[in-house]
Amino acid sequence: MHIAVYPDLATISQEAARYIARLANEAIVTRGRFTIALSGGNTPKQAYALLGSEQYRDALDWSRVEVFWGDERCVPPDDPESSYHLAVQTLLAGAPIPASQVHRMPADRSDRDAASLDYTREMQRVFGTNGIPAFDLIQLGMGPEGHTASLFPHQPSLHETERLVMPVTVPKPPPDRLTCTPPLLNAARHVLFLATGADKQEALRAVIEGAYNPDEYPAQIVRPPRGEVMWMVDTAIAAKLQSRP
């Protein structure tokens, strides 16, 4: 695990965009394409906008990028709460990724179990596997209570071992969501956490330095045995870390 502390979100966003572009180019050279799962929320918004800007348009081969999502709210794709909608307004507005390589999580369907299974099959089809896809990068955030993706404290989703995507109902609006599960998150080659804000100080300290207790702090569960976890955080959230870098 690596943790880097920056003064503000603008600096984090610049570094995150640079990091994602570097991993993308390395994956394209090594494996012929780059597979990424995005998150929602406000924290990654600037980084996605940078990647969709002219600065990065020619920095990598977007025709070799496959985009998925790590979780999604059960709202229409044009709803302001939709993680897909956030990406459409930022990254996808500028990055020339073929539409067939943008894989929206169908969380707005009424049958959430069927939607979860279909999304699992879509991932497996793209990755050419019947098992667990290994993303080049999964980008995540963390909430004040330590949740990540839509894995919240004391929920059965934290102990899921079979399904790769599942419906959940969480204690945060909008409550109904689809989320990727620990087996999928922990198969990633790289995981990038972006987290900011003084209201998350205790959660970050517990996740990074506390005893392992993912039922209380779900972000702890993301420990890919063959992957790298990178945290990019601001000085406000890092204030209570004992071993600040």
CATH number of the domain that 167 lies in? Answer: 3.40.50.1360
Indicate whether 27 belongs to any domain. yes
* Cα angle: 28, vertex 31, 33; to 5 degrees: 45
Indicate whether 128 belongs to any domain. yes
pLDDT score, position 217: 98
Domain of residue 129 covers 2-210
Q: Would the pTM of this model clear 0.75, i.e. be above it?
A: yes
Indicate whether 112 belongs to any domain. yes
pLDDT tens per residue, range 17-53: 999 999 999 999 999 999 999 999 999 999 999 999 9
Indicate whether 215 belongs to any domain. no
> What is the C-alpha to C-alpha distance for residues 220 and 62, in angstroms, rounded to an integer?
32
Indicate whether 15 belongs to any domain. yes
Indicate whether 111 belongs to any domain. yes
What's the structural domain count of the chain?
A: 1
Indicate whether 241 belongs to any domain. no
* pLDDT per residue rounded down to tens, the chain (245 residues): 999 999 999 999 999 999 999 999 999 999 999 999 999 999 999 999 999 999 998 899 999 999 999 999 999 999 999 999 999 999 999 999 999 999 999 999 999 999 999 999 999 999 999 999 999 999 999 999 999 999 999 999 999 999 999 999 999 999 999 999 999 999 999 999 999 999 999 999 999 999 999 999 999 999 999 999 999 999 999 999 987 65
pLDDT score, position 245: 59
Indicate whether 230 belongs to any domain. no
Please name which of 237, 66, 210 lies closest in space to residue 141, comparing C-alpha atoms: 237
